[in-house]
Amino acid sequence: MAEQGNFAIRRSFLLPLGLLLALSVTLFAACLVQGEPAAKVAILGFILLPVVVLFIESAFRRAVVREDEITVAKFLRAKTLRLAEVTAVDTVQVRKRAFLTLSAGDDFIILSNAYADFPRLVRTLLARVPASAVSEETRQMAAAPPRKSTDVVSCWLAVALVALILFIQLGSRS
């Protein structure tokens, strides 16, 4: 019996992203409480929105591979494909970023290597879809799936930057 499993976005990315969100909300609240100019608060609010959306989308995203189907759950929605109906499995790879597309008629699911244990996810899927649907690029990528870490590093740098700004913001009103 082939592997099955639940796959989520890597915790090594969710942890700094959650910390970035918490620090950003704290900075936003500090600016409101300290009576900062409305323009500064508005700009911070607009910067905060994509962080909130990214965190919610990442925290709720799951790929569940069962015997005969894959379901990708996102915040307030889900999409399921029957694996036997998959007509194409293609890969797009840009440096260390990989995207796996499963197509079945007009339906498709895109998975990236942001998922934890991406190599096992790829192996599990390729064992279940029709062999004729898998592209040569996907077979090559599956042999050595890329591991991406720049998103984690970038997120930790953003955490450090927002922490510094928050420290300056709170220190300037002491």
Residue 1 is predicted with a pLDDT of 46
Query: CB–CB of 114/13 below 8 Å?
Result: yes
Q: According to the model, what pLDDT value does residue 2 have?
A: 52
Q: Which two tokens stand for residue 152?
A: 């984690």
Question: 108: domain range?
Answer: 5-171
pLDDT-based confidence at residue 173 (cuts at 50, 70, 90): low
pLDDT at 92: 92
Q: Encode pLDDT of 128-157 as tens digits.
A: 999 999 999 999 899 888 888 888 999 999
Domain count, the chain: 1
| Closest to 97 measured CA to CA, from 135, 31, 147, 158 | 147
Torsion of CA 139, 140, 144, 147, to 10 degrees: -90
CA 81/CA 103 separation, integer angstroms: 8
pLDDT at 33 over 70: yes
CA distance 114 to 110: 11
**Count of all residues that appear for the chain in the document:** 174
List the structure tokens of 134.
């898998």
* Per-residue pLDDT reduced to its tens digit, 36-50: 999 999 999 999 999
Is the per-residue pLDDT at 171 higher than 60? yes
Question: Which of 113, 108, 111 is CA-nearest to residue 151?
Answer: 113
Structure tokens at 34: 């300290």
pLDDT per residue over 40-96, tens digit each? 999 999 999 999 999 999 999 999 999 899 999 999 999 999 999 999 999 998 888
pLDDT at 4 over 80: no
Report d(CA 86, CA 98) in Å as an integer: 19
DSSP output for 33-74 = HTT--HHHHHHHHHHHHHHHHHHHHHHH-EEEE-SSEEEEEE
pLDDT of residue 6: 92
Give 107's pLDDT tier (boundaries 50, 70, 90). very high
